[in-house]
Chain A
Amino acid sequence: MKERTYEKYFRQNRLPHIWCPGCGNGIAMKAIVQAVEMRGLPRDKTIIVSGIGCSSRASGYMDFDTLHTAHGRAIPFATGIKLANPELNVIVITGDGDCTAIGGNHFIHGARRNIDLTVVLFNNTIYGMTGGQASPMTPLHKKATTAPYGSVDRPFDACNLAQAAGASYVARSTAFHVQHMTDMIAEGISCRGFAFIETVVQCPTAYGRKNKMPDPAEMMKWMRDNAVMKTAWDRMPEEKKADKFPIGVFHRHQAVEYTEAYSEVITLAQEGGK
């Protein structure tokens, strides 16, 4: 059996975690530390920043400097850390509500600045922590405690949003495709600029039970059957897309990174120049 070298990245004394049996958050958390290991990031120069939600509790289990911020605000805090000390590697963990509802403005502006952060969105398409209210990523007609007749709010595609706002790297994966997810995150870490990875995770408790899929294994099979690799997706006839969704890397565009741009401001100011 392969050695579980990633275990050293967890605070063993903080485990077991608070997540429900079958929750997908642990899979995504493990993928992040494996990506950190793959990229050989120095642990003491790597900071994990999260918002508020079930997903954002991950920071407490990870043995780095970790920051559990306020709901929606992980990206501004992370921006401050990175600007204050550009040699640090900053990874943000956020939920679909945290990132695209209350934190939506910070999300697009982080991407616009193209600051060197790796943002991993754990997308369970629901507000897990508060017991199953609809999020801006809840699919149309799916049920939530605040959408008892099915949601009529059109959902965001967070990947399209990140790309349109100026991110350097945009990808999606799922908890079923563990190795793929790890690779997507690892490439995001390598990217110098705003890297965004949406990873679909199952929430059997707050989402599955309300939407006739209470079994976590069933939810993962749904991911297996409906996620389509980008290359295949691009060749797929429209009528077959229906409930399916693409995964893979959607966007790579190396633009000027923000802390680098600001270091030029410092040079200019110190030369007393205009």
Chain B
Amino acid sequence: MANRLAARFKGRHDSQQYFLVGVAMSAEQKSGITHEGDFYSEEALHEMHDSMLFIRRFEEKAGQLYGLKKIGGFCHLCNGQEAVCVGLNSAADAKDYMMTSYRDHGHILARGTDPTAVMAELLGRAGGVVKGKGGSMHMFDIEKNFAGGNGIVGEQVPIGLGFGFSSWYKEDGRVTVCIMGDGGINQGAVYESFNMAALWKLPIVFLVENNQYAMGTSLDRASAETQLYKRGISFKIPGIKIDGMDVLEFDKRMREAIEHARSGKGPMLVEANTYRYRGHSMSDPATYRTRAEVDEWRSGRDPIARLQNQMIAAGLSTEEAFKQKDKDIKKEVAAIAKAAEAQPEPDASELWTDIYSDPIEGAYPETGKVY
């Protein structure tokens, strides 16, 4: 599974690439789906589908474990938003940088981090991605260029600015995708970052996951301009709005945005229109919205069902096959949870590690001595 999620969806090609690699075959001859001129191979589609479904089942398992009090603290699930996680990682390169808020499980999984390590982190285990020191809100994977996992709303935005600055400084060709919520975009630091990113033409895509709510506050109760992609206008940052419930559309448009940033034209602002099915965190019964509204998104626009329908229509799979796939993934997630739970808690010595890179011998209290 880790491998599958880590794959950069290599099966995806556009017709131009076919000729570049010398495969003289048109998209129609190979099985797949053509979306707005872009061809997605059967393998690529399965991979996107499986990744989204995996994230959903993983989140459900996390919710269960939270209910059993095995996961503590805050736990923010991303059910409903899987197309954004998966489409984004299909669009971005492995070398590109990424950082987000506390709603980070789906993003780090889509990035290809070992799901057992993610689950172990949720459970506060030694083998967690950050050794059990971060928990749900602080997932990091430096190997995958995934830089958090931030619990302070909007804080990752100036940090993302710094990653983009670094790429500009080193001319390393990377793009930073800096993710925030529809609530997060109201932080002042976001506009400070927009300004500098545009001023210095830094290679950054600011991605707003507009899931319509910031905790219990709906978008229109918090934002004077509810078309969030327009929030960059006074900084001359071009903005686009993408359907975040359609993984193919999201992948395609996100690729264009990333290309824009990579080409030296400066930052871009992307608003992904999406929805969170669950409450804000595990303690939220979500009484501020109607059942009908949730149902409208869940049954009318679900990103997984949508892709399944597209694939069935294209003759690439069947309802039964998807049912079987779901069973397999649920089993896999259960095994992951079991393996993660079997891990020990972090060693007590971990309390005092990772504070300094250059500790100073004998200085109090950093040596851990207590009187």
A binds B: no
Interface, chain A (partner B; CB < 8 A): none
Interface, chain B (partner A; CB < 8 A): none
